[in-house]
C-alpha cells in the first residue's frame, strides 16, 4: 500500500514503476489508480474495470451486462484472479 497526502506523486511513481514492469514479457500488469476526486474509488467502477482488464489478459470477452451487481463483478474478479494467466505470465 502506498499512502500520502494528495499531490505528493504517488500515482506518478506507480505509473513509472508499472511501465517498467510492463516491458517484461513474463509479467502482465494491471494498474488502476484509485481516486476519490475522479470517483474511481467506487466499487461499481473498480470491479467492472478490473474484470474487463483481467478478461482481456485471459483472451476472453466479458458477456456481462454493465448494470450487473457489484457482487457479481467482484465474483468475476475473484474468479479471474484464481486462474493462472496464459503463457505462464505472472500478474502484477
> Per residue in 41-56, pLDDT tens?
999 999 999 999 999 9
* Alpha-carbon span 76 to 64, nearest angstrom: 10
Beta bridge partners of 28: 91
For the chain, what percent of residues have pLDDT higher than 90? 72
Residue 23's pLDDT is what?
A: 94
Residue 89's pLDDT is what?
A: 93
**Tens digit of pLDDT for each residue in 16-34?**
999 999 999 999 999 998 8
Residue 72's pLDDT is what?
A: 96
| pTM for this predicted structure | 0.86
Let me know the angle formed at the C-alpha of 74 by 69 and 78, rounded to the nearest 5 degrees.
150
Amino acid at each position: 500500500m502506498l499512502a500520502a497526502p494528495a499531490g505528493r506523486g504517488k500515482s506518478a511513481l506507480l505509473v513509472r514503476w508499472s511501465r517498467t514492469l510492463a516491458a517484461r514479457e513474463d509479467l502482465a500488469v494491471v494498474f488502476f489508480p484509485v481516486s476519490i476526486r475522479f470517483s474511481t474509488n467506487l466499487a461499481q467502477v473498480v470491479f467492472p474495470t478490473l474484470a474487463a482488464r483481467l478478461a482481456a489478459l485471459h483472451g476472453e470477452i466479458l458477456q456481462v451486462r454493465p448494470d450487473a451487481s457489484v457482487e457479481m463483478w467482484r465474483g468475476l474478479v475473484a474468479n479471474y484472479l484464481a486462474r493462472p494467466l496464459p503463457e505462464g505470465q505472472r500478474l502484477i
